[in-house]
Chains A and B, each alone.
Chain A
């Protein structure tokens, strides 16, 4: 082999080596970039699963006995609800003609707007939970109490913050706008916020922006508590949950009565389904009271 041939071969080898080094360097950089993205996404998911840095930071920690209380709320005997009927001392939700149905995911939507500090919201949540438990299942319901420095202080209640609801009949969106320390908690999506701003205002109510606000499928609306929160004063979560199953107790007559009225209103949006609920005597009595308006 001539010196010039050896030199050309040497050149080719050097070129090939340089090209391989450059290619390996670029592949290593690409691999590092991909690895970095994988690590970031994995870190986000792991942090979420570990519960760190979530929007629950300002929430009251779950109170003792939550599963027991929630189970009792979800299983108030139908016989008790039938016995209570429209209850006593319960304000009727309001109906407005011309309001379009509130629908979400192809199902009627029940929209709740409240705040954990608010004692009137504290009273209302019990009825909402009892009513909607007849159409579906809550998960993640927590316990809290209203603000200590407000009227009806420390009223024991549930919280819809972090809870989810599944039902084949109705969709539920519940938002706690503030925690019991008045710190911002849930941020409703624009669609639900728009409903809140439109209907929790004149001419539908004289106290715009009041909470609790409950939109029952666009058919009926609740502005404020349907009964006096004083009924719940001094009672623990478990005492309230137990009283729900005692038809003669003031708690049952208020909460279960409110629940039946809500159930009757929701039944109007679901085509009276499920029939086992909508045709029950307690709901029928509530429906009759809704119809009479008094």
Chain B
């Protein structure tokens, strides 16, 4: 049975803002990727070296630029973070959002590992995307937890049917 799903107003608002920010930053990195990174605005101080990261062998997964994957990810998850999606009575919407945010944060862990232990450099713009993804995961986690459980209410009703119509020892 589908029930009314309500979350605090800050959850849809925050998640949507994070998605839009993710689209913007990942879009910039994608643009820089396809423009040969000639204008990437990022300091090059050894540890921080965006070009070293965005042009490394870890900048692609199965031949697809990671920046493009990030952009597609945020474009895909944005509709799931609209207020109307948060109010959706369809459980699959909330499950898909939770799984997507979990996949995003798992991929971020892989990319952070690659930056720290394989590329030996940190990309500030990429780190921005990573932070947005992790924050989005946090918000989605809490939002999903706060959604309430229609099933739990149903179970509570079922539990009390017995004393209402019969007797307990």
Question: What string of 1s and 0s marks CB contacts (under 8 Å) between B60-81 and chain A?
Answer: 0000000000000000000000
Contacts of A166 in B (CB 8 A): 44-46
Contacts of B149 in A (CB 8 A): 19, 22-23, 26
B108 vs chain A, min Cβ distance (A): 8
Contacts A14-B160, A55-B120, A164-B45 given; indicate if A30 touches B55 (C-beta within 8 A): no
| B38 located at the interface, meaning its Cβ lies under 8 Å from any Cβ of chain A in the complex | yes
Contacts of A23 in B (CB 8 A): 145-146, 148-149
Q: Are B120 and A162 in contact (CB under 8 A)?
A: yes
Contacts of A15 in B (CB 8 A): 153, 156-157, 160
| A60 located at the interface, meaning its Cβ lies under 8 Å from any Cβ of chain B in the complex | no
Q: Are B134 and A41 in contact (CB under 8 A)?
A: yes
Q: Are B152 and A18 in contact (CB under 8 A)?
A: yes
| A202 located at the interface, meaning its Cβ lies under 8 Å from any Cβ of chain B in the complex | no
Contacts of A191 in B (CB 8 A): 36-37, 51, 55
Contacts of B37 in A (CB 8 A): 191
Question: What string of 1s and 0s marks CB contacts (under 8 Å) between B124-163 and chain A?
Answer: 0000000000100110011011111100110111011001
Inter-chain CA distance A40–B134, complex, in Å, is: 12
Q: Are A190 and B56 in contact (CB under 8 A)?
A: yes
Contacts of A10 in B (CB 8 A): 160, 163
Question: What string of 1s and 0s marks CB contacts (under 8 Å) between A66-77 and chain B?
Answer: 000000000000
Which residues of B in the span 22-76 have a Cβ within 8 Å of any Cβ on A?
A: 36-38, 40, 42, 44-47, 49, 51-57, 59
Q: Are B55 and A19 in contact (CB under 8 A)?
A: no
Q: Mostly helix, strand, loop or mixed at chain A's interface?
A: helix
Q: Are B157 and A33 in contact (CB under 8 A)?
A: no
B151 vs chain A, min Cβ distance (A): 8
Inter-chain CA distance A213–B38, complex, in Å, is: 23
B166 vs chain A, min Cβ distance (A): 12
Contacts of A63 in B (CB 8 A): none
Contacts of A165 in B (CB 8 A): 46
Q: Are A34 and B141 in contact (CB under 8 A)?
A: yes
Considering only CB atoms and an 8 Å cut-off, how many residues of chain B contact the other chain?
48
Q: Are B116 and A48 in contact (CB under 8 A)?
A: yes
Q: Are A37 and B142 in contact (CB under 8 A)?
A: no
| A99 located at the interface, meaning its Cβ lies under 8 Å from any Cβ of chain B in the complex | no
| B105 located at the interface, meaning its Cβ lies under 8 Å from any Cβ of chain A in the complex | yes
A102 vs chain B, min Cβ distance (A): 12
- CB contact between B117 and one of A19, A41, A53 (< 8 Å): that residue: A53
Which residues of A in the span 16-35 have a Cβ within 8 Å of any Cβ on B?
A: 17-19, 21-23, 26-27, 29-31, 33-34
Q: Are B145 and A27 in contact (CB under 8 A)?
A: yes
- CB contact between A29 and one of B102, B116, B145 (< 8 Å): that residue: B145
Contacts of A11 in B (CB 8 A): 157, 160, 164
Inter-chain CA distance A33–B145, complex, in Å, is: 11
Question: What string of 1s and 0s marks CB contacts (under 8 Å) between A179-192 and chain B?
Answer: 00000000101111
Residues of B within 8 A of A (CB): 36-38, 40, 42, 44-47, 49, 51-57, 59, 102, 105, 109, 112-113, 116-120, 134, 137-138, 141-142, 144-149, 152-153, 155-157, 159-160, 163-164
Residues of A within 8 A of B (CB): 7, 10-11, 14-15, 17-19, 21-23, 26-27, 29-31, 33-34, 37, 40-41, 44-45, 47-48, 53-55, 103-105, 139-140, 162-166, 171, 173, 187, 189-192
